[in-house]
Structure 1
Amino acid sequence: MAEHTITSAANPRLKALVGLRRRRRREESGRTLLEGYDELALALGAGVRPRELYICDDLMADPSTQHDVVRAARDTGAEIVRLSRAAFEKVAYREGADGFLAVVPAVGTTPRELTLAEAPLLLIAEGVEKPGNLGAMLRTADAAGVDAVVAADPVTDWGNPNVVRSSKGTVFSVPVATATSQETFDWARERSIRVVAATPAATDLHTDVDLTGSVAIAVGTEKQGLTDAALAAADIHIRIPMSGKANSLNVATSAAIVIYEAVRQRGHSA
């Protein structure tokens, strides 16, 4: 596919790119933005096929070596568009832009469409509102080998550019799904997946319960935690020991602690 060049920051095509920062536009088009060389390389390795790739050599750290992802994207059928520095900086959504911005298909499915292992380890994030926390949980899920992450009653979408950015692209390497809380917990029950709810009010420590077999670790919002309905639907309640004055940890940190306890119990090693 032929390459194109855009030098003017007023080009109408750039306006369409900026529009993908809005959730409604992402949902209407089924596309989202992916910025960054490392993130793009990870996504390509996970099988993502970009529709368009916008590049700026002036912003690349090392154009002589980083063009490997340009070739890889071109091989998948992506349209390659070169931008001037001014044009790229108009569409870049993160600080320290490195000259790579792709338009990729939106990610996410429903829990019922997930393909799971025989005894999966899952993470359910109920109502988590901060894209940075969702991204951090995805990075943990990727590192720990979690089978899937389900956003229950989500406040944001998986294609939010800030979720993509904070996940370092792992939103494309970890299966993700979205559903209401009711649908999520009904699905878990139908699949005989034990739901382990992390809550400061629990009696059992996270190290004292069995986290092997089919397990979904459920975490809630920073302020309120899991809803009463989620706590009622859970099979087990656990807490992480706290010695300080604060009564809770950051939700992404809590999820990481419990996930790695599950990994330890399962005897997995990196």
Structure 2
Amino acid sequence: MSAPEVITSLQNAHVKRLVRLRSRRDREQEGVIVIEGAREIARAVSSGVSLSAVYSAPDLHSAEAAGLAPTLQAPGALLSRAAFGKVSGRENPDGLIALAPTPRVTLPEPGPQAVTVLLHGLEKPGNVGAILRSADAAGADSVIVLGRGADPYGPNVIRASQGSVFTLPVAVMTEHDAQAWLAARQFTTFACTPDAPRAYWDAPLTGRVALLLGTEHEGLPAQWRQTDHSVSIPMNASRGADSLNVATAAALMLFECARQRRRRSA
């Protein structure tokens, strides 16, 4: 039995397609997402994502990628080191890229102690991915992404989330639909804003809770600040620090929710 052909040409159709799919517009037109990295692919598969294609460069495989590649049940192709470097979005790729249909997520019906995170207008994939990772780690139930901020299923968000985007329900909604969903399920909403007089650790973060976060530059728009509660994260501004990275703010809020729930159930 002959060895499978290895794609070496940078003009190959597979290579050209993968380069094209770096664009959000092209991914949306095709209805696919790009998952790069053994850890992220493994988490996607274990969460029920059905891969439509797998591209592998054995010369670049880490130990994790080498162990995972033979188990992946999807059509694919082998790429040379140079061809994989052309399509990879990473400095030190591990030689695995997979494609899958874009997830269509329906949020689960929330339990009495559900926590959801609402992200308004966040554009940096690293921040969105880090928030997803923190939400997963803190036991949040879902994340709602509003509008045309960072693509929650973009390759850089997937990487920054370490694959948590696949283990946590993440839905993209319009503002109207998000407000209606929260209201119909009687969530108590908490807008995280720097000028709120109440510290987040003094807020009653139990029951069905929605944490609302906006961009670091503009914050939340007026309609989202006019919610049940506004909370802030007190800071020592005497040395000039007057704001926090939004992913850090989200992590603090999420783990305070978890702390209050543990204390309540003790």
TM-score by length of 2: 0.92
User: How do 1:154-165 and structure 2 match up within 5 A?
Assistant: 154-165=148-159
Aligned residues: 259
Post-superposition CA distance 1:112-170 (Å, at most 9, x none): x3113312111001111111100000110111111111011232222221111211121
Post-superposition CA distance 1:227-255 (Å, at most 9, x none): 111111x2110011111322211000000
The answer to whether the 8 Å contact 2:59/2:95 transfers is: yes
User: How do 1:58-69 and structure 2 match up within 5 A?
Assistant: 58-62=59-63, 66-69=65-68
Post-superposition CA distance 1:25-81 (Å, at most 9, x none): 11111101111111111211111111111111111123xx6433223322xxx1131
CA distance in 2, matches of 1:262, 1:59: 42
Pairing 1:250–2:245 present: yes
Q: Provide closer, same or farther for how the CA distance between residues 151 and 37 of structure 1 changes in structure 2, counting only shifts above 3 A.
A: same
CA distance in 2, matches of 1:58, 1:136: 30
Give the one of 103, 117, 131 matched to 1:123: 117
TM-score by length of 1: 0.91
User: How do 1:192-203 and structure 2 match up within 5 A?
Assistant: 192-203=186-197
Give the aligned partner of residue 17 of structure 1: 18
The answer to whether the 8 Å contact 1:3/1:80 transfers is: no
CA distance in 2, matches of 1:57, 1:27: 29
Which amino acid is the alignment partner of residue 11 of structure 2?
A
Which amino acid is the alignment partner of residue 183 of structure 2?
R
Aligned-residue CA RMSD in angstroms? 1.8
Q: Provide closer, same or farther for how the CA distance between residues 201 and 3 of structure 1 changes in structure 2, counting only shifts above 3 A.
A: farther
Pairing 1:56–2:77 present: no
What percentage of aligned pairs have identical amino acids?
A: 41
Which amino acid is the alignment partner of residue 237 of structure 1?
S
CA distance in 2, matches of 1:115, 1:192: 14
Pairing 1:91–2:84 present: no
Give the aligned partner of residue 32 of structure 2: 31
Indicate the SS of the match to 1:93: coil
Post-superposition CA distance 1:154-207 (Å, at most 9, x none): 322222211112111211111101112232122211110111110011111111
1:3 deviates by: 6.2
Pairing 1:208–2:207 present: no
Give the one of 218, 222, 228 matched to 1:235: 228
CA distance in 2, matches of 1:48, 1:219: 28
Which amino acid is the alignment partner of residue 220 of structure 2?
L
The answer to whether the 8 Å contact 2:133/2:162 transfers is: yes
Structure 1: state its 5+ residue gaps: none
Give the aligned partner of residue 103 of structure 2: 107
CA distance in 1, matches of 2:218, 2:254: 21
Give the one of 165, 169, 178 matched to 1:184: 178
Q: Provide closer, same or farther for how the CA distance between residues 195 and 108 of structure 1 changes in structure 2, counting only shifts above 3 A.
A: farther
Which amino acid is the alignment partner of residue 73 of structure 1?
L
CA distance in 2, matches of 1:3, 1:235: 60
Indicate the SS of the match to 1:207: helix
